[in-house]
Each structure stands twice: as C-alpha cells, then as structure tokens.
Amino acid sequence: MDPDARTPTRPFQVGAVLVGAVVFALLAIEVWHTHTPMRWERPILTTIERFPLPGRDFWTALFEPVPFAFITVALAFAAVARDRTSLAIAGLTGCLTAVVTTELVFKPLIGRYRVHVVGIHPHLAHLGGPMFPSAHVTAAAAWATFAWMIVDRRSRLRPFLVAIPFIVGWAVTSKHMHWPADVVGGLIVGPTAVYCTVSLLRAAARWEAQSKAEPDANDRVDVPA
C-alpha cells in the first residue's frame, strides 16, 4: 500500500476547504458579470501600481500553460522518485483539474470582464477573456500545494512555496491582467482542487486496503465443534 494512503485527513483541513468554498462563492456572487473593480479592490490596485513587481514577466510566463505543464510533470516525477506514486498521480490530476475547471467552468460562468469606455457610453471589450478567477494564480497555488505535499516537513523551501502564489498574484495585478478578487479566487481554487483530489485517492486506497484485509465470507472455513 502506498504510504500516502495512511495519511489521515484532519478536521481543520476539511474546515479550511469549506470556508474557502464559502468565500469563493461569495466572491463569485459579488463579481458576477461585473466590469469594473469593486470598491474594496481600488485601494489595493492603487498600491500595487505604486510598487510594481520586479521580474513580473517571468512569474506570469512561468505559469502559462506549457511551462506550467512541464514544472507540474517534473513535480510528479519527484514524487515518484520518493516512492510516492499515488501522490504523484493525484497531485498531477489536481493541478490540471484546477486550471481546466478555472478556464472552462468558472470564468465563462461568472463572466467578469473589463470595460473600455468609448465616449459617453461604456462598451464591453472582452480584453484577454474573462477574469475571475485568475488562471495564473490558480496554477501557481495548485503547483505550490502539490510541491508542499512532496517536500519534507522541515524543508526550508516551504516558506518560498507559500509565497509563490502571492508573488504571481502581485505580478498579474501589476500587469493589469487581473483585479484582487480574481487573485483571491485563484488562491482558493488551486489548493482546494489538489487537496480534494489527493484526499479522494487516499480514501480510495484506504478503502481498498481494508477490503483486502477483511476475510471474504466465501473463503471462511467452518471448524467443527
């Protein structure tokens, strides 16, 4: 049995997922078919414009589809090298699920676009496609969660992994690709997708191990008294 199958699901993890789902739903309702930043987003945008992120092109390019696929597959190979094949499969699946769901489900459904004002009346200009949640941040958060599960608990890389999604969020916001709510949405979707996928696989592995451990009724031999 894969050692990851014995890892228990802690109650606070389930609670964090539920809280994240509620926050995401509230954000989605707030930005539903909106075309301008929310009031609470404007101060954040103003601050970010004053302090643009150095190297922001690198961070956005790193989580474009092709580079993201390469670094995620590399993580999966790293997990296999550590004899954690189940985690490799689940983490890779979770990362891809997060990005695909963001692009094909959440973005078209929520439909948040920028507005380009021409003359007096605002006309919708779907620049770069729908915005919520940010696919770049979703990919970064999913990848960082996957990596967090692979590295050792005492690894010095862990603080850096936590910082990556926030750096990418800063980058896409400073490049005017997204607004803060889009970043928060990505910070929720990425880890949730990876966590749920890994948890489901672990639960399936535990169930399979228990079913094999229990003797089948047809194989029991009655011993005469």
Distance CA 48, CA 171 (A): 9
In a domain, 221, yes or no: no
Specify the DSSP element, H or E, that contains 124: strand 121-124
Report field, pTM of the whole predicted structure over 0.75:
yes
Better pLDDT: 163 or 204: 163
Q: What is the pLDDT of residue 207?
A: 77
Per-residue pLDDT of 144-197, as tens digits, reads 999 999 998 888 999 999 999 999 999 999 999 999 999 999 999 999 999 999
In a domain, 145, yes or no: yes
When pLDDT is cut at 50, 70 and 90, the band that residue 122 belongs to is: low
Rounded distance, CA 78 to CA 189, Å? 23
What is the average per-residue pLDDT within 4-17? 67
Interatomic CA distance for residues 31 and 29, integer angstroms: 6
**Band (116; pLDDT cuts 50, 70, 90):** low
Question: Residue 213: inside a domain, yes or no?
Answer: no
Position 110 in a domain: yes
pLDDT at site 4: 57
Residue 189 located in a structural domain? yes
Q: Would 7 be classed as within a structural domain?
A: no
Q: State how many domains the chain has.
A: 1
146 in a structural domain: yes
Residue 2 has pLDDT above 50, yes or no: no
- Whether residue 39 lies inside any domain: the answer is no
Please, which residues have CB within 8 angstroms of residue 112's CB and are 6 or more apart in sequence? Answer: 31, 32, 33, 34, 35, 130, 131, 132, 182
Residue 3 has pLDDT above 70, yes or no: no
**Residue showing tokens 């011993």:** 223
- Give pLDDT tens digits for 63-93: 999 999 999 999 999 999 999 999 999 999 9
Residue 220 has pLDDT above 90, yes or no: no
Taking only the tens place, the pLDDT of each residue in 43-52 is 999 999 999 8
**Domain hosting residue 181, numbered range:** 52-205
